Amino acid sequence: MSAVAVDGVWKYYGDFPALRDIRLEAPPGSCLALIGRNGAGKTTLLRIIAGFSRPGKGQVRILGGSPRETATRRNVGFIGHGIAVYDELSALENLTLYAKLYGLENPRQAALEWLEHTGLERVKDGLVREFSRGMRQRLAVARAFLHNPSVLLLDEPFTALDDRAIAVLQRLLREGLGHGKTIVMSTHQLREALELASHVALLNRGQVAFHGPCTPEMVADPGLVYARYGEG
Ligand code: ATP
């Protein structure tokens, strides 16, 4: 069974087909890098995979279930364009709140563990409002990993991060892959992404132009996929 399966997904915004018959699969333990130029449809696709938006046609399965089911959501971590933490709560309160929402057995302990993993232990009682951008970003990373999800869906995860947050995220993703987690991430940063990716999918104007294993050739020359399969 695929960890993530996208089967014949279409999405229209008015008359405009943002996604056209997308078919993709990510086996358990794989890391799929979703690449493509601005407007190719990466964000639209990830939001549909995460269950935030419904496809016009086709379906998505995550670990065999619908992305909108509670049981599936408990197994999915998401990093999107927003940070999705509360400014008026402390870092510890934020993570404890999310841990409760996910129904974790010991919310406070899970929150403390993830503050430690992301280097925020020292500032755990500080209000997020007073955090630097980098600290907020690390908190967003902690939130995505907190409930130990088997599937991570990441929309441009490296773009908004500072160097320290990039290092934290790369380490966590590498460890996650080592533990059999499945990752689907959209990215402009080919180099960072291809280092982690086992598979690559190139979207071109809402269609899959290429989908296959990430080869050493691609890692050595990240522009290769665009040169070979892009619209030029
Ligand atoms: P980027 O790298 O710039 O984020 P992307 O590959 O993620 O691009 P999407 O954001 O998925 O692309 O957008 C795909 C297409 O759908 C674009 O042409 C965009 O203008 C259009 N689009 C996205 N969201 C909407 C919306 N809510 N209403 C209308 N059109 C939209």
Q: Which residues pair with 59 in a beta bridge?
A: 7
DSSP states along 47-81: HHHTTSS--SEEEEEETTB-TTSHHHHTTEEEE-S
Helix (H, G, I), strand (E, B) or coil at 36: coil
Give the amino acid at 90.
Answer: S
Pocket-testing residue among 13, 34, 79, 187, ligand 1, by greatest number of atoms within 8 A of Cβ: 13
Instruction: Write the residue with the smallest CA distance to atom 24 of ligand 1.
Output: 44
Q: Per-domain residue ranges for the chain? A: 1-75+150-160+180-232, 82-148
72 pLDDT exceeds 80?
A: yes
**pLDDT class for 166, splitting at 50, 70, 90?**
confident
pLDDT in the model for residue 119? 93
Q: 141 C-alpha vs ligand 1 centroid, how far in Å?
A: 24
Q: What is the pLDDT of residues 83-129, one digit of tens each?
A: 778 999 999 999 999 999 999 999 999 999 999 999 999 999 999 99
Q: What is the pLDDT of residues 180-225, one digit of tens each?
A: 999 999 987 777 788 899 999 999 999 999 999 999 888 888 788 8
Average per-residue pLDDT for the chain: 92
Helix (H, G, I), strand (E, B) or coil at 192: helix
Give percent of the chain with pLDDT exceeding 70.
Answer: 100
75 pLDDT exceeds 60?
A: yes
34 pLDDT exceeds 60?
A: yes
Are the beta carbons of 170 and 183 closer than 8 angstroms? Answer: no
Taking the C-alpha atoms of residue 232 and residue 215, their distance in angstroms, rounded to an integer, is 21
Please provide residue 75's backbone torsions phi and psi, each rounded to the nearest 5 degrees.
Answer: -105, 10
Give percent of the chain with pLDDT exceeding 90.
Answer: 73
Q: 44 C-alpha vs ligand 1 centroid, how far in Å?
A: 6
Instruction: Write the residue with the smallest CA distance to atom 19 of ligand 1.
Output: 39
Taking the C-alpha atoms of residue 207 and residue 98, their distance in angstroms, rounded to an integer, is 35
Helix (H, G, I), strand (E, B) or coil at 202: strand
Pocket of ligand 1 (CB under 6 A): 13, 18, 36, 38-44
Taking the C-alpha atoms of residue 16 and residue 26, their distance in angstroms, rounded to an integer, is 27
Q: 210 C-alpha vs ligand 1 centroid, how far in Å?
A: 19
Instruction: Write the residue with the smallest CA distance to atom 30 of ligand 1.
Output: 13
Taking the C-alpha atoms of residue 92 and residue 86, their distance in angstroms, rounded to an integer, is 11
Please provide residue 108's backbone torsions phi and psi, each rounded to the nearest 5 degrees.
Answer: -65, -40
Q: 21 C-alpha vs ligand 1 centroid, how far in Å?
A: 16
Q: 45 C-alpha vs ligand 1 centroid, how far in Å?
A: 9
Helix (H, G, I), strand (E, B) or coil at 32: strand
Give the position of tokens 């008026």.
88
232 pLDDT exceeds 60?
A: no
- The domain 1-75+150-160+180-232 having CATH identifier 1.10.3720.10: the answer here is no
Whether the pTM exceeds 0.85: the reply is yes
Mark out the alpha helices in the chain (DSSP H runs): 42-49, 70-73, 91-101, 107-117, 133-145, 163-178, 190-196, 216-220, 224-229
Atom of ligand 1 nearest to the CA of 40: 6
DSSP states along 160-189: T--HHHHHHHHHHHHHHHHTT-EEEEE-S-
Which residue did the predictor score with more confidence, 49 or 187?
A: 49
